[in-house]
Chain A
Amino acid sequence: MKLDIGGEETFDSPIERVWSALNDPAVLKQCIPGCKDMITQGDDRYKLVLALKVASVGGSFEGEISLSEKTPPSQCKIAVSGSGSLGNGTGIATFSLTPQPAGTLMRYGGEGEIGGLVAGVGQRILKGVAKHLIGQFFTALRKQLAAPVS
């Protein structure tokens, strides 16, 4: 099934701080829901190991995430692909960061396609699940941004 995602988020932190967090594998590993491992494969390319549960099925998910068309500190394209016992998925999204008086505004949008078991058992709730996972990501990201810079 096809899945459209998009939205806006605001952060209290300045744009440079948000940008560097989003480009830091250590931060991303903490923020991506169910992320068990994130191994650098090359410039802006990482291997991901996830454990997720959707509806009545749960399972492991291996994939790749890559960042491209970067325009620091405001724009970036993210491509994700992966497969596992849950099924398979691909997605491409872009985000843009805009400085705000009290922080940073992020706009993001993209399209995903999901197949296999998860598409069949959870389709009715997949949009909700995607929204929930994205929410989890941003909650974790805010926590990371709030933490003192190491």
Chain B
Amino acid sequence: MSETSRFTFVSTQRRVREDRRFVVGKGNFVADIDVPNMKHVALVTCPYPAARIKSIDKNAALAMAGVHYVLDGAELAQGTLPLMTGLDTPNVPRRPLAVDIARYAGEWVVAVVADSRALAEDAADAVRIDYEKLPFVLDAEMAMEKDSVLVHQAHGSNVLLDKTFTWGEVDKDFAAAPRHLKLRVKWGRSSTVPIETFGVVTSWDPWREILDVWASIQMPRYNDQIGSALKVPVSSVRVHYDVDVGGSYGVKRGIKHTVLCGYLSRRLGFPVRLIEDRLENMRGGDAHGPERLFDVEAAYGDDGVIHSMKMRALENVGAYAGRSPFQLGKPVGAIVGPYRIKSVQYRAVAVVTNKTTQEAVRGFGQSPTNVAIERVVDEVANTLGLDPMDVRRRNLIRTEDFPYTIPSGTTYDSGDYLALIDKVLAHTSYEELKKKRDALRAQGMLAGIGIAAALEPSGGNATFEALLNPNVTTSTFMDSCRIAVDGLGSITATMHTTSSGQGHETLVGTVIGEVLGLDPELVRVVRPDSLNSLPSGTPVGSRMAIMLGGAAFEAAQKLKTKLTAIGAHDLGIPPERAVYERGEVYDRNAPDKRIKWADLVQIAHRNYHRMPPDMEPGLAVSHVMQVPTGGKLPTADGRVQMYPCTSFEFHMILVTIDPALGRPEIALYRIGHDCGTVINPKIVRGMTMGGIAHGIGAALYEEFAYDPEGQMIAQSFMDYLLPSSHEVPPVEIIHQVTPSPNTVLGQKGSGESGYLGAPAAIANAVNDALKPLGISINTLPLRASVLGDMIAEATAKKAS
């Protein structure tokens, strides 16, 4: 990779430093936190999709040995404020425990505190709650209807958000285009299902007035939210960021768990811990992902060039809303995908129903949208009898078009999509693959090729908040890094959030090592608690390589500048003549005149008389990073620069379906991937492989399904099917590096790679396989049971 040869440590195959402690089983997860005198919480949940809580009998539970407290929603509501939400919907309050009415099967109603989790669970069994069943609604389209049952009576409707944007001359472009098509695509309710469920430990110290919080968390403004719900200053909330998080990809947002435990610790005077079991996590952990219905229309020419698109995205957010309706907002930043579509109409609708509350999932709504776009592109090809590869080539943005501004206002930074596709096809011939598919078909198998070209907007800022809620004026989403060199010359850098396996310590060490020309292993990376931290937006939105990497880079530059100034002053030369190199400063005109690292440290820490005048002693620098290209609010017609970078991925796969079984199997998987400069190849590879496995799950297996009575029927791994090593095929990754002009090293994000294109590629492949039977399917997950029936019916029809 000649593009990256300018680096010493960046882009090299270095180990991921966090791996050592995980491999030997020495991670420090929330379940490893043991605070003296800690008590345990268990929950009583509502068995009905909607019910009025008529009475709660706590006596039997309270009488049990080892039981300390039984908390209900009414008391908790007295002592706390509702949880923070993204939209202004005051009549849809979200609280940790249901008050008067429970709105989904599994919603928490009562919390029991006991000496052990087992005792708490036994006592939870003994709590008697008298319910009156209420009518409920599960389906998003039904919930939108005028006469629908209302999930929140006081809100007056089930619609939380209904906003239409028109970018460009949509009507004109539709009228001018000779061809139109309509497609309905459904993305089923799935999530990320981390190995570690959510857990939190809280402890209140009344004499210091500090609430200590250890949690398996990945949530923006977590400390702000805790402080405001508990009605204490945020300076009284100390979140310990040095807790390892066992997987998240967006869903580790246990704010309700934390507010509940925080309240209990303050009320009871001892530390409490709540760690979900798997059932609690899947049913009432509020960690479901998007459930989205797309109605898409495309206007295109006989050549397959798509001129305009109309998309309605209807999101079923579940019973309450946190940030989740915003998952309709992020895709605005890549609403045309990698294509030169001139105009777009986008209607974003979010409704509440009597299902589990939704949270953020990897890609923040982008992967479902990518499926809708990619299915449309394939259908355009189908209707014209053109090859889907050719149709993509005709529509893709060309490298000379960059920077390219899409109709919704975001400027894509850089890319060379066609070159990456050519690289993939040079590796695996498309013509050969088609022959292979046709040979399989000749043998009686169903076989299909799926291609998908997808974008990963990265470097997340929060502009979608202002786009969907004009009362929000947030135009930054900071991240920061502090570097201190101690009195004996060791380097310690800080980051100010938790990590959920993304390798941020490796990232910060590598970037600082690169700037300072020192071995990254020499850079200690730690996470202080929230009271000792600089502002941080947390590792969401595929942003940390760009934002934390950027902050570390800029802080290291400041350190370098200071060291250079100290060296120049001590050498008695003007700063511009001084050169910093690998920890030393020398005179450009006399390279032998140099000051070593130890002496620079000695001057800064102990010899103020040798420092340049008016310079702060010591070696401590920090940088708070603004999102590149950010800082503006949306225009009146809803145009705004969203994310600063766009990574590109191109998937090409072969799927076979035995017509007797209906079960899709992936026979070949190739992905071309371009996330600009790669800081650590192992991390990017891990993200991409994991993302593809995640995408296979969403496309084929995973769904939090509900029965017509409102019960979630997939709340264990018997029914919520995760892809295993049997279902995830070998994947070959073909790399390309197109640096971003907007970032310090040319890097782009990779936290969502693979996931953003895999479901689209699989949906296209399955539909290509079904094509000879004249049938198609656009409902994900593409279940073997459904496919089997469809294939049988179509085969019978064909035979008759």
Q: Which residues of A contact B (CB under 8 A)?
A: 1-2, 55-57, 59-60, 83-85, 87-88, 113, 115-117, 119-121, 123-124
In the complex, how many angstroms separate the beta carbon of A59 from the nearest chain B beta carbon? 6
Besides the known contacts A1-B711, A1-B713, A119-B711, 18 further A-B residue pairs in the complex with CB atoms under 8 A apart: A55-B718, A84-B125, A88-B47, A115-B47, A115-B48, A115-B105, A115-B711, A116-B48, A116-B711, A119-B709, A120-B711, A120-B712, A120-B713, A121-B718, A121-B719, A123-B707, A123-B713, A124-B718
Asked if B661 is at the interface of the complex by the 8 Å CB criterion, the answer is no
CB nearest neighbor in B for A113 = B709
Q: Which residue of B lies closest to A120 (CB)?
A: B715
B191 to chain A, nearest CB (A): 15
Residue from A1, A57, A83, A117 in contact with B709 in the complex, judged by beta carbons closer than 8 Å: A1
- CB contacts (< 8 Å) of B48 on chain A: these are 88, 115-116
**Minimum C-beta distance from B601 to chain A (A):** 59
Distance in Å: Cβ of B283 to nearest Cβ of chain A: 7
Are B125 and A1 interface neighbours, CB within 8 A?
no
A124: B residues at CB distance < 8 A: 718-719
Output the least CB separation between A92 and chain B (Å). 16
Q: Is B279 on the interface with A (CB-CB < 8 A)?
A: yes
B714, CB-defined interface residue at 8 Å: yes
18 contacts between A and B (CB under 8 A): A1-B709, A1-B713, A2-B709, A55-B716, A55-B718, A56-B716, A56-B718, A57-B279, A116-B105, A117-B279, A119-B711, A119-B713, A120-B105, A120-B283, A120-B712, A120-B716, A121-B715, A123-B707
Indicate whether B299 reaches chain A with its CB closer than 8 angstroms.
no
- B356 to chain A minimum Cβ distance, whole angstroms, is 11
Hey, which chain B residues are within 8 Å of A87, CB to CB? 47
Question: Which residues of B, 113-155, contact A by the 8 Å Cβ criterion?
Answer: 124-125
Closest 5 CB pairs of A and B: A116-B47, A119-B711, A120-B715, A85-B125, A123-B713
Residues of B within 8 A of A116 (CB): 47-48, 105, 711
Min distance, Cβ B304 to any Cβ of chain A, angstroms: 44
Nearest-CB distance from B718 to chain A (Å)? Answer: 7
Chain A residue contacts of B719, Cβ below 8 A = 120-121, 123-124
Tell me, rounded to whole Å, the shortest Cβ–Cβ distance linking A118 to chain B: 9
| B124 with A115: CB separation less than 8 A | no
Judge whether B709 and A115 touch: CB under 8 Å. Answer: yes
CA distance A55 to B707 in the complex (A): 18
Q: A119 — nearest CB in chain B belongs to which residue? A: B711
Chain A residues positioned under 8 Å from B45 (CB to CB): 117
Cβ–Cβ contact B125 & A59, under 8 A: yes
Given the complex, which residues of B lie within 8 Å of A123, measured CB to CB? 707, 711, 713, 719
Knowing A1-B713, A123-B713, the reply to whether A117 touches B47 (Cβ < 8 A) is yes
Bound Cα distance from A84 to B713, whole angstroms: 18
A87 to B712, CA, bound (A): 12
What is the distance, in angstroms, from A111's C-beta to the closest C-beta of chain B? 12
User: Bound complex: CA of A2 vs CA of B707, how far in Å?
Assistant: 9
Q: How far is the CB of B277 from chain A (nearest CB, A)?
A: 10
In whole angstroms, what is the CA distance A124 to B125 when docked? 25
| Interface residues on chain B, size class | 20 to 34
Measured CB to CB, the nearest residue on chain B to A123 is B713
- B276 to A: closest C-beta gap in Å: 14
Query: Which residues 686-736 in B have Cβ within 8 Å of A in the complex?
Result: 707, 709-716, 718-719
Residues of B within 8 A of A60 (CB): 125
Inter-chain contacts of A120 with B (CB < 8 A): 105-106, 279, 283, 711-716, 719
Of the candidates B45, B105, B710, the one having the most CB atoms from chain A within 10 angstroms of its own CB is B105
A85–B129 CA distance with the chains assembled, in angstroms: 11
Residue of A nearest to B47 (CB): A116
Interface residues as binary, B38-55 with A (CB distance below 8 Å gives 1, 0 otherwise) = 000000010110000000
Cβ contact within 8 Å between A83 and B716: no
| Alpha-carbon separation in the docked complex, A123 to B707 (Å) | 9
Contacts of B125 in A (CB 8 A): 59-60, 84-85
B47 touches A121 (CB 8 A): no
- Chain B, residue nearest A85 (CB): B125
A121 to chain B, nearest CB (A): 5
Inter-chain CA distance A120–B704, complex, in Å, is: 10
B712, chain A: closest CB distance, angstroms: 5
Q: In the complex, what residues of B have CB within 8 A of residue A113's CB? A: 709
Asked whether, in the complex, the Cβ of B47 is within 8 Å of the Cβ of A83, the reply is yes
Q: In the complex, A117→B715 CA distance in Å?
A: 9
Set of chain A residues within 8 Å of B712, measured between Cβ atoms: 120
Query: Which chain B residues numbered 286 to 329 have a C-beta less than 8 Å away from chain A?
Result: none
- Report how far A57 CA is from B106 CA in the complex, Å: 15
1/0 per residue, CB under 8 A from A, across B84-124: the answer is 00000000000000000000011000000000000000001
Q: Which residues of B contact A55 (CB under 8 A)?
A: 716, 718
Query: A56's closest neighbor in chain B, by CB?
Result: B716
Instruction: With both chains docked as a complex, state the minimum distance between the C-beta of B111 and any C-beta of chain A, in angstroms.
Output: 15
How distant is the Cα of A121 from the Cα of B47 in the complex, in angstroms?
Answer: 13
Q: How far, in Å, is B772 (CB) from chain A's closest CB?
A: 33
Closest to B48 in A: A115
Cα(A15)–Cα(B618), bound, Å: 98
Per-position contact with A for B257-299: 1 when CB-CB < 8 Å, else 0? 0000000000000000000000100010000000000000000
Interface centre among A84, A123, A124 (most CB of B within 10 A): A123
A residues in contact with B105, CB < 8 Å = 115-116, 120
For A59, the chain B residues whose CB sits under 8 A away are 125
Which chain A positions have C-beta within 8 A of B709? 1-2, 113, 115, 119
Q: Which residues of A contact B106 (CB under 8 A)?
A: 120
Q: How far is the CA of A41 from the CA of B711 in the complex (A)?
A: 31
Q: Is there contact, CB below 8 Å, between B124 and A85?
A: yes
Given the complex of chains A and B, what is the CA–CA distance between A113 and B711 in angstroms?
A: 11
- Shortest beta-carbon distance, A86 to chain B, in Å? 9
In the complex, chain A residues whose CB is within 8 Å of the CB of B710: 115
Measured between beta carbons, the chain B residues less than 8 angstroms from A83 are 47
Provide the residues of chain B in CB contact with A57, threshold 8 Å.
Answer: 279
Q: Check B716 against A1 for contact (C-beta < 8 Å).
A: no
CB-nearest residue of chain B to A59: B125
User: Closest residue to B716 on the A side, CB-wise?
Assistant: A121
A84 to B45 Cα, complex, angstroms: 11
Instruction: Provide the bound-state CA to CA distance between A88 and B46, in Å.
Output: 10
Alpha-carbon gap, A89 to B713, bound state (A): 15
